[in-house]
Amino acid sequence: MIINGYQIEPGVNLRGADFRRAGLRGAYLRGVDLTGADLWGADLVGADLKDADLRRADLRGACLVCAILWGADLEGAKLEGADLKWTNLWGANLKGTILENN
């Protein structure tokens, strides 16, 4: 996948990346390390985040409708106000995840 001219491959390190309000609709981010990334208000509709590392990521207000989060590590992630309609969280680690106002 190409984001802002950069090729994103599985396993790439995007720790702490700033994707606030980013248009990532349908993005293929399988296995990507997004630990502590700022995805506040990001459009992740239909994004494939299978096995992604989203520990402590800020996903407040993000649109994750129909996103694939199979096996994703969301430990300590902030998901307040995120739209999780039809989101697949099968096998995801939700320990310490904040899921208010969803």
**pLDDT digits 0-9 by tens, 3-18:** 655 567 788 899 999 9
**Rounded distance, CA 19 to CA 59, Å?**
10
User: Which is nearest to 78 in space by CA: 39, 21, 25?
Assistant: 39
User: Which is nearest to 88 in space by CA: 42, 38, 52?
Assistant: 52
Q: Does residue 2 carry a pLDDT above 80? A: no
Eight-class DSSP state of 73: B
**Rounded distance, CA 22 to CA 20, Å?**
5
3-state secondary structure of 81: coil
- For the domain that residue 23 is a member of, what is the CATH number? 2.160.20.80
Q: How many CB atoms lie within 10 A of CB 73?
A: 22
Q: What is the pLDDT of residues 37-90, one digit of tens each?
A: 999 999 999 999 999 999 999 999 999 999 999 999 999 999 999 999 999 999
What is the residue range of 60's domain? 1-102
Count of the separate structural domains present in the chain: 1
